[in-house]
Amino acid sequence: QLPTGLYKKVLVILHDSVLPYMNEPTLMMDFLTVAYGIGGAISLLALNGLFILIHQHNLEYPDFYKKLYSLLDPSIYHVKYRARFFHLTDLFLSSSHLPAYLVAAFIKRLSRLALTAPPEALLMIIPFICNLFRRHPACRVLVHRPGGPADMSEDPYVMEEEEPSQSRALESSLWEIQSLQNHYHPDVAKAAAVLNQSLSEMEDDISGLLELSAYELFDKEVKKKAVDVPLEFEQVRGLFGKRNDIFAEHFSLG
């Protein structure tokens, strides 16, 4: 087959510079299916072309969602094509005819993976999950389960399960987002806190958040004007002079 670099390059431009000009776009079917099966970044990229085939050319793809589900791994929040992938995922999950268990499994998996995500991805994924809740009210048990058991010793959700229907996501709750309410970035913490309240009717627009970069976030924070600057009240006693300073235990000056 093709080398990885070339594969990626082809797939990046396939959907808007190749497919529209082909007489028989369905000929690309096999190529894309194989690419989709490879895994990693190439699968993510093949998704776009595949989507066009499914959407406009009546391609029937068995276990499409299962495949999509298995594509979710910790690296999706870190890769370059994050914006494209989530744009498509948003499209795929926008149908209100999807079963609740599937959407719940997606929500649960996305939020589980969010535990390792950088803030710029978190700022995107939390409204994304909120949108899923809005589209699929049946999934709201994930954040609101009034009659459930008081205490559980284990999260019922099975992360390792490949089949969304077997993952028992609907029996679980979104503790991950609750953990993220303690995130160090104030905006992330605020966004995660939204799930505490019942959601508003309108969907959030995440198109602007997809391309968010860490530097933009930083820039935004730096440019904020502060009315006053709180100061440390503990008297400084040198570079490593704080109480229980971690540095003093492991580093030395010199």
Partner 1 sequence: SNPFEVKVNRQKFDILGRKTKNDVGLPGVSRSKAIKKRNQTLLKEYKEREKTNVFKDKRFGEYNTKITPEEKMIRRFTLERQQNYGKKNIYNLNEDEELTHYGQSLAEIEKLNDIVDSDSDTEERGALSAELTAAHFGGGGGLLRKKVSSEQQDEEEEKPKSRKELIEEMIAKSKQEKQERQTRRESALELTEKLDKDWKEIQTLIARKTPKSERKDKELEKPKPDEYDMIVRELGFEMKAKPSERLKTEEELAKEEQARLQKLEADRLRRMRGIDEQANEKRPSHMSADDLADGFILDKDDRRLLSYKDGKINIENEEEKEEEEGEEEEEEEEEEEDNDNEEESQEESAGEDEEDDAADSHSDLESDLESEEEAAGDKEEKKHKANENESQNVEKLDPKSEAAESELPYTFAVPESYETFKSLLSGRTIEQQLIILERVQKCNHPSLAVGNKAKLEKLFGFLLEYIGELAALDLPELRTIDKLVLPLYNLCQMFPEAASDSIKFILRDAAHDLEEVIEVKGRAAFPGLDTLIYLKIISLLFPTSDFWHPVVTPAFMYMSQLLTKCRITTLQDVIKGLFICCLFLEYVSLSRRFVPELINFLLGVLHVSLPKSRAQGYTVVHPFTPVGKNLELLFVCDKEDLKSWEKQNMPLSIVTRLKETSKTEINHIRLSCLALCFDLIKKCAALYESLPSFHEIMHPVRILLTQHVPVNEYPEKMQEWYHSALKELENKVKHYTPLICEKKKPVPLKQYTPKIVKVLEFGRKQAGSKKEQERKQLIQRHKRELKGAIREIRKDNQFLARMQLSEIMERDSARKRKVKELLGSLATQEGEWKAMKRKKWKS
Binders in 118-137 for partner 1, by CB under 8 A? 118-119
Q: Which of residues 79-118 bind partner 1 (CB under 8 A)?
A: 112, 115-118
**Closer to partner 1 at the Cβ: 23 or 197?**
197
Q: How many residues are listed for the chain in this entry?
A: 254
**Residue 141 beta carbon to partner 1: minimum distance, rounded to whole angstroms:** 9
How far apart are alpha carbons 126 and 187 in whole angstroms? 11
**Closer to partner 1 at the Cβ: 52 or 188?**
188
Q: What is the dihedral of CA 134, 140, 143, 146, to 10 degrees?
A: 140
Token pair of 106, please? 């997606």
Decide: is 250 part of the binding site for partner 1 (CB under 8 A): yes
Rg (CA), the chain: 22
**Closer to partner 1 at the Cβ: 112 or 136?**
112
**Closer to partner 1 at the Cβ: 91 or 159?**
159
How far apart are alpha carbons 76 and 80 in whole angstroms? 9
How far apart are alpha carbons 247 and 249 in whole angstroms? 5
How far apart are alpha carbons 182 and 178 in whole angstroms? 8
Q: Which of residues 4-63 bind partner 1 (CB under 8 A)?
A: none
Stretch of 4-12, 31-39, 53-61, 179-187 contacting partner 1, by CB under 8 A: 179-187
**Closer to partner 1 at the Cβ: 9 or 145?**
145
Q: Which of 74, 91, 94, 166 binds partner 1 (CB under 8 A)?
A: 74
Q: What is the dihedral of CA 71, 158, 194, 206, to 10 degrees?
A: 10
Q: Which of 22, 26, 144, 163 binds partner 1 (CB under 8 A)?
A: 144
